[in-house]
Chains A and B, each alone.
Chain A
């Protein structure tokens, strides 16, 4: 039956969305926390054992940018028409599939053509013009240049060292001039000159940009996702790994984010750098994973 569903007429994005929604409902009911760092699944004894062996911690932040993922609005009446058609067709089907009403998907499929047509005309009228989008893109490029000039990887490294030194019993040192090795490199940090460091806290950018729900002119939020690893130098053993992310609660349209050379984006990203540094130090070195009964 599952194979039949997979081969059904539902498009991949709808199957993916429906699967995600089902995971959100089923996972917690089965006691599975799908959005949890590994540290929260460890026992207090395990975390104590892990932290007792850390020694001096060297911090390295990769300067390489991660993937950029920006949810753009539709461009002009043509783009709006096409996106409205797609959005109008998929929405009732996705809702029908996850609703508790039997036969919801079938009803959704029957309704979809009508909502698709309505969506297409709505999209043509409401989508921002191509000129507006292109002007906004230029402003956002200026924001990217500002962020590059700020050398945020150095800011993050300094923040990690300061927070770690001030709030934990461990010794933190910045590993300036040390590049994180390729993920496929088995040697890792062995053989590198690390001045007595026994454990490396390595942070890389995974992705960043604007995210939100697909639509004609979507409300999006700024987000950054990192990958942080705690690596024992002598045997390149990965002690902990986590993918913390930070997103703005504030949502805006694309052209609104672009105002004044993307000033709001720059503010959000710099706030996120502070918050991510705090989260990494908390989760790796301070959190006591226990729950109230």
Chain B
């Protein structure tokens, strides 16, 4: 009985923290806009969100942040994007990388593998009062900032299964152009 009462007290103390764990997902670095972040209850990391194309248009938060102390001193902002294979056997192989991007969005230029999970992250490179600096790599959930990227707290998405060319919304858009 005493042990049960102790456990009930512990649960009462933990309930607020557990409830907060059910709430918003913690993000460091630039926030991803597409694909959006999703997380199952009590999951430590973000879920793999299905994207609509093998060449998705990834979008993220613009830098500098609104709360930066001297945003007027920030110059030469570019973004660096990396995508890694997220399947458990593929040993985080870097699949795609671009740097020097000037907009907070990018369409992957070559088709990714269908029905595959990927890890991805993005950071900004910039100059502040002439000094080269970077933001940290974007991560979500239990942010493993001691670990190199990729790691389980990177953002995630999953590509669709193989689709016929006429069903690919991006190809249809390109042919209209």
Chain A interfacial positions (CB closer than 8 Å to B):
1, 4-5, 8, 22, 24-26, 28-30, 33, 35-37, 40, 44, 51, 100, 102-106, 167-169, 219, 242-252, 264, 267-268, 272, 275-276, 278-279, 282, 286-293
Task: Decide: A278 and B148 in contact? CB cutoff 8 A.
Answer: yes
Task: Decide: B133 and A286 in contact? CB cutoff 8 A.
Answer: yes
What residues of chain B lie closer than 8 Å to A36, measured between beta carbons? 143, 145-146
Contacts A247-B151, A248-B92 given: A290-B65 contact, CB under 8 Å? yes
Q: Which chain A residue shows the least CB distance to B64?
A: A290
7 contacts between A and B (CB under 8 A): A36-B146, A40-B136, A102-B7, A102-B11, A249-B92, A286-B132, A288-B134
Q: Which chain A residue shows the least CB distance to B88?
A: A251
- Within the complex, the shortest CB–CB distance from B44 to chain A, in Å, comes to 7
Question: Per a CB cutoff under 8 Å, which of B18, B65, B88, B148 touches A291?
Answer: B65
Interface residues on B, range: 35 or more
Decide yes or no whether B4 CB sits under 8 A from chain A.
Answer: yes
Question: Per a CB cutoff under 8 Å, which of A264, A268, A292 touches B61?
Answer: A292
CA distance A37 to B147 in the complex (A): 10
CA distance A40 to B17 in the complex (A): 23
Q: Which chain A residue shows the least CB distance to B142?
A: A24
What residues of chain A lie closer than 8 Å to B4, measured between beta carbons? 102-103, 106
**Of A26, A242, A282, A292, which is in contact with the most chain B CB atoms at under 10 Å from its CB?**
A292
CA distance A37 to B131 in the complex (A): 22
Task: Decide: B134 and A282 in contact? CB cutoff 8 A.
Answer: yes
Task: Decide: A106 and B3 in contact? CB cutoff 8 A.
Answer: yes
Q: Which chain A residue shows the least CB distance to B91?
A: A250
B140-170 interface code vs A (CB 8 A; 1 in, 0 out): 0011111111111000000000000000000
Task: Decide: A268 and B146 in contact? CB cutoff 8 A.
Answer: no
What residues of chain A lie closer than 8 Å to B27, measured between beta carbons? 292
18 other A-B residue contacts (CB within 8 Å) besides A4-B2, A252-B89: A8-B3, A24-B142, A29-B17, A51-B131, A100-B15, A100-B18, A102-B7, A168-B132, A244-B146, A245-B146, A245-B147, A245-B148, A247-B151, A248-B91, A250-B90, A272-B148, A286-B132, A291-B28
Chain B interfacial positions (CB closer than 8 Å to A):
2-4, 6-9, 11, 14-18, 20-21, 26-28, 30-31, 44, 61, 65-69, 84, 86, 88-92, 119, 126, 128, 131-136, 142-152
Task: Decide: A25 and B18 in contact? CB cutoff 8 A.
Answer: yes
Contacts A44-B69, A102-B7 given: A249-B119 contact, CB under 8 Å? yes
Task: Decide: B67 and A264 in contact? CB cutoff 8 A.
Answer: no
Task: Decide: A288 and B132 in contact? CB cutoff 8 A.
Answer: no
What residues of chain B lie closer than 8 Å to A250, measured between beta carbons? 88-92
- Within the complex, the shortest CB–CB distance from A42 to chain B, in Å, comes to 13
Task: Decide: A287 and B133 in contact? CB cutoff 8 A.
Answer: yes
Q: Which chain B residue shows the least CB distance to A103?
A: B4
CA distance A4 to B10 in the complex (A): 13
CA distance A29 to B59 in the complex (A): 28
- Within the complex, the shortest CB–CB distance from B149 to chain A, in Å, comes to 7
Contacts A291-B65, A292-B31 given: A26-B14 contact, CB under 8 Å? yes
Q: Which chain A residue shows the least CB distance to B15?
A: A100
Task: Decide: B145 and A40 in contact? CB cutoff 8 A.
Answer: yes
